[in-house]
Amino acid sequence: MNFGLTDEQEMIVSTVRGFVENEIYPHEALVEKTGEVPQEIAQEIKRKVIDLGFYASNFPESVGGPGLSHLEFALVERELGRGSMALTHFFGRPQNILMACQGDQIERYLMPAVRGERMDALAMTEPDAGSDVRGMKCSAVRDGGDWVLNGSKHFISGADHADFFIVFVATGVDETPRGPKKRITCFLVDRGTPGFEVAKGYTSVSHRGYKNCILYFDNCRLSDAQVLGVVDGGFDVMNEWLYATRITVATMAVGRARRVFDHAVDYAAGRNQFGQPIAKFQGVSFQIADMITEIDAADFLTLGAAWRLDQGLPANREIASAKVYASEMLARVTDATLQIHGGMGLMEDFPIERFWRDARVERIWDGTSEIQRHIISREIFRPLGA
């Protein structure tokens, strides 16, 4: 067992960390204050990432990506997790599901996304369909040779900057012994398509500047050329490609936790009470010890899951374990760091309250902690027929 990184992997970590510290950190206070990422800053970040050769780093060389392994991409995401998500969004990691593009879709969607010419957004969640994906009401029906979409999506991250959308909708119902089961199809929908509107979403306390939007479809007409994968095969492309989002949340949680941990250590070493640094008190030092133990555990769990993907080994349970543990670890680390800072931890003069707010959403999106535990337990009991 070799837990060390190669020289190339160390260079990836160093390069991305340096980029985050030099190109992301300086703009974070502005984004926190205004809730906006100025267009010139967004474009500057994207341009510099493309120049570095890291844009679309989750895509293979065969389509113009850097061709990083799953493990190497996890290292990239871990370092990006240190920075504001509103800003690192422009580091550019298109949805892996675009690898399912075929025919004209390749030059219309996949290649422009990899080159940074067009940005995508994934649209799955609805007001009544979060964890229960098959509960979605947004639907498409045949009308002549086209599809007509009606319904809405919400909590669509990055939609404000997206040029096109990867939209999952219901396209039929099968009667099964366990009741009606909706068939799902994935569509590629361009911004500006008649009958399609991108509206302002909700104001979140987490990740200011990284906005969510609401999508409305009102008799939005699409051709078969807009189907990603095959009709009624949305779950197949979803299961083949979207596992990456869970491991991304896990790796970014680890990166953010390490940044938060550094703040906790620095403050504990420099803050004096009763004539000595508060790091001397076991009430603080033991919290620090627990924090680094949990961070390291989450790190190895996450990188181990990515390594399994590179080896072609089953990794569904391991990815779910990494996502639930890393996201909950981040919550504990940020809360403990805030406690160590005392009242100042809640003041906007320090970034701690931001880390604390941002951490809360990680246990919800890309599969709640409850869904991850369901996946883990199902993988354990399924071979036993239970």
List the CATH number of the domain containing 316. 1.20.140.10
pLDDT in tens, the chain (386 residues): 788 999 999 999 999 999 999 999 999 999 999 999 999 999 999 999 999 999 999 999 999 999 999 999 999 999 999 999 999 999 999 999 999 999 999 999 999 999 999 999 999 999 988 777 778 999 999 998 899 999 999 999 999 999 999 999 999 988 888 888 899 999 999 999 999 999 999 999 999 999 999 999 999 999 999 999 999 888 888 877 777 789 999 999 999 999 999 999 999 999 999 999 999 999 999 999 999 999 999 999 999 999 999 999 999 999 999 999 999 999 999 999 999 999 999 999 899 999 999 999 999 999 999 999 999 999 999 999 98
- Two structure tokens written together for 112: 């422009």
How many C-beta atoms lie closer than 10 Å to residue 320's C-beta? 26
Residue 2 lies inside a defined structural domain of this protein: no
Alpha carbon distance 73, 303 (integer Å): 10
Rg (CA), the chain: 22
Instruction: Note the pLDDT of residue 132.
Output: 79
Q: Are residues 264 and 368 in the same domain?
A: yes
Report the candidate in 83, 85, 91, 211 with the shortest Cα–Cα distance to residue 157.
Answer: 211
Identify whether residues 258 and 380 lie together within a single domain. Answer: yes
Instruction: Report yes or no on 154 lying in a domain.
Output: yes
Q: Which of 115, 147, 168 is the last residue of a domain?
A: 115
Residue 70, in any domain of the structure: yes
Residue 304 inside a domain? The answer is yes
Q: Which two tokens stand for residue 120?
A: 């995508």
318 domain-assigned: yes
* Residues 298 and 265 placed together within one structural domain of the fold: yes
pLDDT for 336 equals 98
Nearest to 24 by CA among 322, 202, 255: 255
pLDDT number for residue 88? 98
Same-domain pairing of 80 and 41? yes
Enclosing domain of residue 214: 120-232
* Cβ contact 111:102 at 8 Å: no
* Cα–Cα distance, 269 to 128 (Å, whole number): 48
Q: Are residues 51 and 146 in the same domain?
A: no
Write the CB contacts of 198 (distance below 8 Å, at least 6 apart in sequence): 159, 160, 162, 191, 213, 214, 215
139 in a structural domain? yes
CATH number, residue 186: 2.40.110.10
Here the CATH number for the domain that contains residue 26 is: 1.10.540.10
Note whether 245 and 380 are same-domain residues.
Answer: yes
Which run of H or E residues covers position 112?
Answer: helix 111-115
289 shares its domain with 188: no
Element (H, E) at 1: none
User: What pLDDT score does 178 carry?
Assistant: 82
- Residue in this structure with the two tokens 């409850």, named with its chain if needed: 370
Q: For residue 1, is it within any domain?
A: no
The domain total for the chain is: 3
Is the same domain home to 202 and 277?
no
> Is the Cβ–Cβ distance between 87 and 24 less than 8 Å?
yes
Sign of the CA dihedral with 114 first, then 83, 18, and 329 last: negative
Q: Which residue has the tokens 């391991």?
A: 318
| Residue finishing a domain among 232, 266, 295 | 232
Q: Are residues 308 and 380 in the same domain?
A: yes
**pLDDT at position 134, please?**
79
Single residue among 200, 232, 264 that ends a domain in this structure:
232
Q: Give residue 242's pLDDT.
A: 72
On whether both 254 and 346 belong to a single domain, the answer is yes
SS (H, E, C) 169-207: EEEEEEEECCEEEEEEEEEEEECCCCCEEEEECCCCCCC
At residue 198, the pLDDT reads 98
Q: Is residue 260 located within the same domain as residue 376?
A: yes
- Kind and range of the H or E run holding 214: strand 212-222
Residue 250 placed within a domain: yes
- Domain shared by 99 and 162, yes or no: no
